[in-house]
Amino acid sequence: MEHGGNLDGAAARFGGDLADWLDLSTGINPRPYPIPPLPPRAFTALPTRSDMAGLEDAARAAYATDASVVPLAGAQGAIQLLPRVLPRGRARVLGPTYGEHAAACAGAGWRTETVATLDALDGADLAVVVNPNNPDGRRHAPEALIALAERVGLLVVDESFADAEPELSVAAQVSDRMVVERSFGKFYGLAGLRLGMLLARPDLARALRDAAGPWPVSGPAIAVGCAALRDEGWQEDTRGWLARSAARLDALTLERGWDLVGGTTLFRTYAVGDARAEQARLARAHIWTRAFDHSPGWLRLGLPPEDGWTRLEAALVPD
């Protein structure tokens, strides 16, 4: 399955060392949380139960929830693990969206289909909604998702991009019929830590912890996660910076003649005509973007770092 961040494949096709490339193919914040000094113990000792409890408490506070928190290796860890601990049945995924949801369900033995509307999820044993959605940025009001949860066996709400828009979150509404998946690496710009959270009712959380094993995340991830999740000032400043950067990117692409499809403040998706041709044109300037087989006119760009704007502006000038 193709993902963003596949920079080695881009370099193999278009040349250059990885350091030569500007990678805009992901929705990862290019201005990451500043890693605090870490105690040597974070690297040398196995994480303790109190270490994990501290991370879970920090996540509950950051996400304004009373749910049980299961830290895992990124939101991807939650996506892959959850279908494997539930009784198999019919899974429906609201699409088009991040392809790993349907793949994980099918791989775990669920009868899986992708549907186009919220109403089409009705009656599923497991229903998946990404909110806000990747790659088109579709948003669903929390009230609509809470109502949907009553019409399915279990509703999974993937909020990997919700940190920038906390008003969209249903983390406070986790119940017997709803779980929430959260990414840490995207908003905090530290995807390499491989940290994410699944918010669930207590019995399901216990089953997930048992399936994940005793040390599902690393000591450095716990230490950085605790600091970042409690840093409300940095979070608020970052939301403002992301919004300004997304508006700047929209202005640049408007000059190119692209039309905004949607997105979040971490990524923008545009209608560009022939997306693969535009992707290749930018790749020849060693700028990597994300195209989609399901929507051949769409091209998704993440935000560049501060020192990448001039380079992107030059590359977007029409030939």
What's the pTM?
0.96
Cα distance between residue 163 and residue 155, in whole Å: 20
Predicted pLDDT at 138: 98
Confidence of residue 178 (pLDDT cuts 50, 70, 90): very high
Report whether pLDDT(63) > 80: yes
Helix 202-212 to helix 74-85 angle (10° resolution) is: 110
Report whether pLDDT(317) > 90: no
Predicted pLDDT at 12: 94
**Which of 230, 246, 280 is where one domain is finished?**
230
Q: How far is CA 137 from the centre of its chain?
A: 12
Task: Specify whether the CB–CB gap between 128 and 101 falls below 8 A.
Answer: yes
For residues 125 and 17, state if they share a domain: no
**Which of 187, 203, 230 is where one domain is finished?**
230
Tell me what the mean pLDDT of segment 241-261 comes to: 96
For residues 209 and 238, state if they share a domain: no
CB atoms within 10 A of CB 210: 10
CATH code (residue 11)? 3.90.1150.10
For residues 46 and 151, state if they share a domain: yes
> 229: closest CA among 72, 22, 61?
61
Report whether pLDDT(5) > 90: no
Cα distance between residue 190 and residue 28, in whole Å: 8
Predicted pLDDT at 305: 96
* Domain hosting residue 92, numbered range: 41-230
**Could you tell me where the DSSP H helices lie in 98-201?**
100-107, 142-149, 185-188
Number of domains comprising the chain: 2
pLDDT in tens, 21-33: 999 999 999 999 9
> 311: closest CA among 10, 21, 40?
21
Confidence of residue 111 (pLDDT cuts 50, 70, 90): very high
Q: Is residue 284 part of a domain?
A: yes
For residues 175 and 246, state if they share a domain: no
Report whether pLDDT(43) > 90: yes
For residues 128 and 164, state if they share a domain: yes
Q: Is residue 204 part of a domain?
A: yes
For residues 138 and 278, state if they share a domain: no
pLDDT in tens, 183-238: 999 999 999 999 999 999 999 999 999 999 999 999 999 999 999 999 999 999 99
Cα distance between residue 187 and residue 162, in whole Å: 9
Report whether pLDDT(319) > 80: no
Report percent pLDDT > 70 for the chain. Answer: 99
- Flag the least confident range among 4-18, 64-78, 93-107: 4-18
Report whether pLDDT(80) > 80: yes
Predicted pLDDT at 318: 76
Predicted pLDDT at 135: 96
Q: Is residue 1 part of a domain?
A: no
DSSP 50-116: HHHHHHHHHHHHHHT--SEEEEESHHHHHHHHHHHHS---EEEEESS--THHHHHHHHTT-EEEEES
The encoded tokens of residue 200 equal: 């669930």
Task: Enumerate residues 6+ apart whose C-beta is below 8 A from 291.
Answer: 275, 276, 278, 279, 298, 299, 300
Tell me what the mean pLDDT of segment 269-279 comes to: 97
Q: Is residue 2 part of a domain?
A: no
CATH code (residue 97)? 3.40.640.10
Cα distance between residue 131 and residue 297, in whole Å: 22
**Which of 230, 252, 278 is where one domain is finished?**
230
